[in-house]
Amino acid sequence: MLETLGALGTGFEVALKPLNLLWGFIGVTLGTFVGVLPGVGPALTVAMLLPLTVKLDPTGALIMFAGIYYGAMFGGSTTTILLNAPGESASIATALEGNKMAKAGRAGPALATSAIGSFVAGTIATVLLTLLAPLVVDVALRFGPAEYFALMVFAFTTISAVLGASTVRGLTSLFVGLLLGLAGIDSQTGQARFAFGVPELLDGIDVVVLAVGLFAVGEALYVGAYQSRLMETLEKISGSIWMSKEDWRRSWKPWLRGTAFGFPFGSIPAGGAEIPTFLSYATERKLAPHPEEFGKGAIEGVAGPEAANNASATGTLVPLLTLGIPTSATAAILLSAFQNYGLQPGPLLFQSQSDLVWGLIASLYIGNVILLVLNLPLIGIWVKVLAIPKPQLYAGILVFATLGAYSLHQSWVDLLTLYVFGLLGFAMRRWDVPVAPAVIGLILGPLAETQFRRALAISQGDASVFYTQPIAASVFALTAIVLIAPWLARRLRRKR
């Protein structure tokens, strides 16, 4: 415990260095600016801004990234409330009430409860992360390759098969991601696989190209084809942006309950913030003194889900930092940011790069504060960003999107890859195939393969390591349970 506080203290020393503080500020501002753009969710924001950090030292870059991440989350909420355009599934719950509030002339309080709720949830979740991370690290230090492989399979299963509308479409997305992850040079033997003699493919497929292709190019193709001729109404902020006493009274409990839903769902590999935001929404609706207001702009329905969303985003950093396992598309891109610096998040990073890890965690506290003091007063600017007309907006997004891909190898081949992923993203959006499993599969697949082969190399090819080691065996058993339980429940219900 004391040890943790000491490490966190060192972390604050790192994060409060003027230059790092500046990177934090820039990160939050840029993250909000890009996150506010309609159609740009946190994952795409982080992916598009990744090239900006190439020349920074790792600590500064990761601190900037923490800021971008938080800024993008807040920016996304603003868009959701004012434009009724949820950039991602986790914002749908917010859109239900937030946009109704805005339509009723209460955009200010809706944005305020979302911002302050995010601050409260983010801060509490960061405290929990601070306390929890060292404990997980202690356990994880005892993990061998077999345990890691089991955990990764568990993450694959929950992310693709358990959540979402369809098990088989989630799995398809995952396997496409895994296949893409195979391209390049096999790390164990040096043999080229699935590269077709194309030099750009020998490096493997960059997760940023996939994410930007799916999210930016795919989105532009989709919105262009199906939504570009629709009219949209941007709600204005009239009246005070501050919350009344009544608003505060109605908001604080949903914030705390939302945090309680969000953090656990984020920190176990349960794939994103969709479930906790909806649980929070349903709970608030049940507990509200005036449930009839729900559907017409109830502030509880904004406060709870927003807190849950933010707490879950912070929660995903637990498996990412302590185990190196990303459980959301955004976390997958953050992992690739680490990898760009040759860093592999996990228990060892807490020992070898303690300053960096704790500096990053400390900057989460700071990022939350920056977000609060920066964004509510500047809301007028963000609203102007929102008013950019669609043609110029998507044109601008694509100029940035292609820049990131091109700067990888200075080659048009990466632009072609980007377009192919864009077509894939279009098809996945049109026919309801989730994209997050593909992004996570791409980056986690090669790590899983390495652990698998390492485990077998240690055991001299004896596959029993995966079921005789108690931890690995229990994780596999758990995986089987989460895979079979929903199916079994459905079967039983049908029989009755």
Q: What residues make contact with another protein under the rule CB under 8 A?
A: 51-52, 54-55, 165-166, 168-169, 171-172, 174-176, 178-179, 182, 186, 188-189, 191, 193-194, 217, 220-221, 223-230, 389-392, 394-396, 398-400, 402-403, 406-407, 410, 412, 415-416, 418-419, 422, 427, 431-432, 445, 449, 452-457, 460-461
Q: At what angle do helices 92-103 and 107-140 cross, to 10 degrees?
A: 160
Q: What is the DSSP string of 339-390?
A: HHTT---SHHHHHHTHHHHHHHHHHHHHHHHHHHHHHTTTHHHHHHHHTS-H
Measured from the CB atom, the residue of 376 and 472 that comes closer to another protein is 472
Q: For residue 141, give the amino acid letter.
A: L
Least distance from another protein to the Cβ atom of residue 281, Å: 20
Q: Give the shortest CB-231-to-another protein separation in angstroms.
A: 11
Q: Which residues pair with 184 in a beta bridge?
A: 193
Q: Compute the least distance from the CB of residue 268 to another protein, in Å.
A: 24
Nearer to another protein, 292 or 460 (CB): 460
Q: Exposed, middle or buried, 5 (CB in 10 Å: 0-12/13-18/19+)? A: exposed
- Beta carbon of residue 451, minimum distance to another protein (angstroms, whole number): 11
Q: Render the burial of 396-435: b for 16+ CB within 10 Å, e for the rest.
A: ebbebbbebbbebeeeeebbebbbebbebbbebbeeebbb
Cα separation values, 169 from 172, 176, 449, Å: 5, 11, 22
Burial class of 462 by CB neighbour count within 10 A (0 to 12, 13 to 18, 19+):
exposed
The answer to whether 422 touches 220, Cβ cutoff 8 Å, is: yes
In the complex with another protein, the residue whose CB is nearer, 176 or 311, is 176
Could you tell me the smallest distance in angstroms from the CB atom of residue 243 to another protein? 31
Name the maximum alpha-carbon separation found in the chain.
Answer: 71
Which is nearer to another protein, 229 or 496 (by Cβ)?
229
User: Could you tell me which residues are beta bridge partners of residue 185?
Assistant: 192
Q: Nearer to another protein by C-beta: 227 or 233?
A: 227
Q: Which is nearer to another protein, 125 or 153 (CB)?
A: 153
4 vs 340 by CB, closer to another protein: 340
CB of 246 to another protein, least distance (A): 33
Least Cβ distance, residue 236 to another protein (angstroms) = 22
